């Protein structure tokens, strides 16, 4: 089976990391963007503004 070319990461608001709103995005596992944390400007409906969202690891699966 081939290696995955992307991995899922969670984007949380930079201003409020404990916020209830977040985005899931795919991040490449190879190339230049692997070393850097993602930082995207997205819409936050709780504040009704565009804000910077930063990468945070996914929580572990609960069993």
Starting at the edge strand found earlier in the chain, the sheet holding 39-44 runs 23-28, 6-13, 49-56, 39-44
Sequence-ordered list of residues with C-beta below 8 angstroms from that of 15, at least 6 positions apart, any chain: 51, 52
Sequence-ordered list of residues with C-beta below 8 angstroms from that of 6, at least 6 positions apart, any chain: 26, 27, 28, 29
Task: Give this prediction's pTM.
Answer: 0.79
Domains and CATH numbers, the chain: 6-56 (2.20.28.120)
Instruction: Convert the pLDDT of each residue in 4-63 to its tens digit.
Output: 888 899 999 999 888 889 999 999 888 887 888 899 999 999 999 999 999 988 877 755
Give the Cα separation of 47 and 30 in Å (integer): 34
Q: Using only C-alpha atoms, what is the Rg of the chain?
A: 13
């Amino acid at each position: 089976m081939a290696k995955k070319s992307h991995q899922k990461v969670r984007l949380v608001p930079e201003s409020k990391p404990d916020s209830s709103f977040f985005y899931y995005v795919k991040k490449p596992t190879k190339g230049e963007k692997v070393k850097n944390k993602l930082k995207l400007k997205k819409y936050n409906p709780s504040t009704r503004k565009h804000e910077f969202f930063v990468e945070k690891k996914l929580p572990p699966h609960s069993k």
